[in-house]
């Protein structure tokens, strides 16, 4: 049987195909949120570099560093997660998720928060920024509960966890609680890595099986449970600033478990399928990031290396892979990357190397590496926008709704 576009154990049959209705951009969650996230990615990183080099300033209570960290998590990554889950929720349950004006309102709320970070009083920014995740979590809980799909309810819990750490960030910024604003941001990155670990454990082996004749990957549930538990424990120890020996050991164990888990997925068989190998290559950065964070606990490298391995390599790589694959599938196009898309994959992975590895090898050229990484990152998402903007704003090729 041909796998679904999002083959994550749907618990209900696909709804009967309907004729398209409404503005194409607002027919399904991935459309506005993928578009917004990739526009933001293409613009925000170069803007951050300009701030870092002192060529511009923010008229905001948020420092440039905190703006960059917060907005890449809650502006960029969260937008893709929301778009994916609103789309997957419909595939899993057969029930409608927001579309039309309601979807437009959710996307508009996300956009308003991004703009408010730059121009509005901090209170308004915090309020706008805090609204989206609880609303989306509520939508997801509603459709999953009504469909009896209990398996995916923990993903809604992770969204609520992101909402909680975002609240802690804003309360810390407002001085309401005594807490470094970086700690909630570390918590947000940890939760995003957990979402990636859960979702990748379902889709990557399934995609690899479906694309490789004769392959019969059967991921071990026990191995996955151990890997997720060790990853959660290591990241929690890091977020809570546990003693270095404890956090470092837990993170190293998590990194080793992630490597062992991915090896069982046989990533080498995907070398001829770029739309698939990008997911394997990006997922490998989770193990790299955890191990670098472990080394940082022991004072061997900067924590920034591990953070950017998880943020640029893993999150950026998985996102460029998933926003191409799922958008192709949900606009009725073949699941085969073009040469331009392969270039975008290579540019994101190259940005990770230049942001993480090269500063460790040649720190004296840090500014040059940052400029090169920002340029590669931005060009990758511009390529995506050139190809996908017309697709996201038009009816599916097969004429179906969605």
Give the separation between CA 87 and CA 183, rounded to whole angstroms: 31
pLDDT, residue 18, reads: 65
Look up the pTM and report it. 0.93
Summarize pLDDT for 281-314 with one digit per residue, the tens. Answer: 999 999 999 999 999 999 999 999 999 999 999 9
Contacts of 162 (CB under 8 A, 6+ apart): 74, 78, 133, 188, 191, 192
pLDDT, residue 397, reads: 92
pLDDT at 240 over 60: yes
Poorest-pLDDT segment among 60-64, 109-113, 276-280: 60-64
Summarize pLDDT for 346-402 with one digit per residue, the tens. Answer: 999 999 999 999 999 999 999 999 999 999 999 999 999 999 999 999 999 988 888
349: left (phi over 0), alpha (psi -120 to 50) or beta: alpha
Tell me the H-state helices in 264-315. Answer: 274-297, 303-308
Looking at every residue in the chain, the average pLDDT score rounds to 93
Percent of the chain residues topping a pLDDT of 70? 95
φ, ψ for residue 344, nearest 5 deg: -65, -40
**Domain boundaries of the chain, sorted by first residue:** 24-198, 219-395
pLDDT at 17 over 70: no
| Distances, alpha carbon 113 to alpha carbons 12, 75, 116, in Å | 35, 8, 5
**Residues written for the chain:** 402
pLDDT at 12 over 80: no
Summarize pLDDT for 176-230 with one digit per residue, the tens. Answer: 999 999 999 999 999 999 999 999 998 999 999 988 888 888 888 999 999 999 9
Q: Residue 255: how many CA atoms within 13 Å on its side-chain side?
A: 20
CA-wise closest residue to 76 among 51, 105, 48, 104:
48
Summarize pLDDT for 210-224 with one digit per residue, the tens. Answer: 888 888 888 889 999
35, 392 contact by CB (below 8 A): yes
3 state DSSP class of 228: helix
Structure tokens at 2: 């041909």
Please give the DSSP secondary-structure letter assigned to residue 15. Answer: P
pLDDT, residue 56, reads: 86
Question: Within 10 Å of residue 390's Cβ, how many Cβ atoms?
Answer: 10
110, 100 contact by CB (below 8 A): no
Percent of the chain residues topping a pLDDT of 90? 86
CA-wise closest residue to 27 among 36, 18, 39:
18
Poorest-pLDDT segment among 7-16, 34-43, 233-242: 7-16
Q: Which helix (H) or strand (E) holds 312?
A: none
């Amino acid at each position: 049987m041909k796998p679904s576009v999002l083959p994550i154990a749907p618990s209900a049959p696909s709804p009967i195909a309907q004729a398209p209705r409404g503005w194409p951009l607002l027919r399904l969650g991935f459309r506005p949120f993928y578009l917004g996230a990739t526009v933001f990615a293409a613009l925000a990183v170069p803007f951050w570099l300009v701030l870092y080099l002192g060529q511009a300033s923010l008229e905001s209570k948020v420092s440039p560093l905190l703006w960059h960290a917060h907005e890449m998590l809650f502006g960029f990554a969260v937008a893709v997660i929301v778009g994916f889950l609103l789309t997957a929720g419909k595939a899993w349950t057969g029930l409608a998720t927001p579309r039309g004006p309601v979807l437009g309102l959710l996307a508009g709320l996300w956009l308003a928060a991004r703009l408010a970070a730059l121009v509005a009083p901090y209170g308004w920014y915090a309020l706008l920024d805090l609204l989206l995740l609880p609303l989306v979590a509520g939508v997801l809980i509603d459709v999953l509960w009504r469909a009896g799909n209990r398996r995916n309810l923990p993903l809604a819990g992770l969204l609520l966890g992101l909402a909680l750490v975002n609240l802690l960030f804003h309360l810390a910024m407002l001085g309401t609680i005594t807490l470094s604003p970086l700690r909630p941001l570390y918590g947000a990155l940890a939760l995003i890595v957990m979402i990636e670990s859960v979702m990748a454990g379902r889709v990557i082996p399934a995609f690899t099986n479906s694309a490789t004749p004769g392959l019969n990957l059967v991921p071990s549930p026990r191995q996955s449970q151990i890997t997720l538990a060790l990853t959660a424990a290591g990241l929690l120890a890091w977020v809570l600033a546990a003693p270095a020996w404890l956090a470092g050991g837990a993170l190293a164990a998590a990194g080793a478990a992630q490597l062992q888990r991915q090896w069982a997925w046989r990533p080498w068989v995907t070398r001829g399928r770029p739309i698939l190998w990008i997911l394997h290559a990006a997922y490998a950065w989770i193990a790299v990031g955890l191990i670098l964070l472990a080394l940082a606990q022991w004072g061997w490298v900067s924590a920034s290396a591990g953070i950017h391995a998880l943020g640029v390599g893993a999150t950026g790589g998985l996102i460029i892979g998933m926003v191409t694959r799922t958008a192709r599938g949900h606009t009725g196009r073949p699941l085969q990357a073009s040469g331009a898309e392969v270039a975008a994959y290579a540019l994101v992975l190259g940005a990770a190397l230049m942001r993480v590895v090269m500063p460790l090898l040649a720190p004296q050229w840090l500014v040059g590496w940052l400029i090169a990484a920002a340029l590669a990152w931005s060009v990758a998402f511009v390529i995506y926008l050139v190809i996908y903007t017309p697709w996201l704003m038009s009816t599916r090729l097969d004429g179906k709704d969605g």
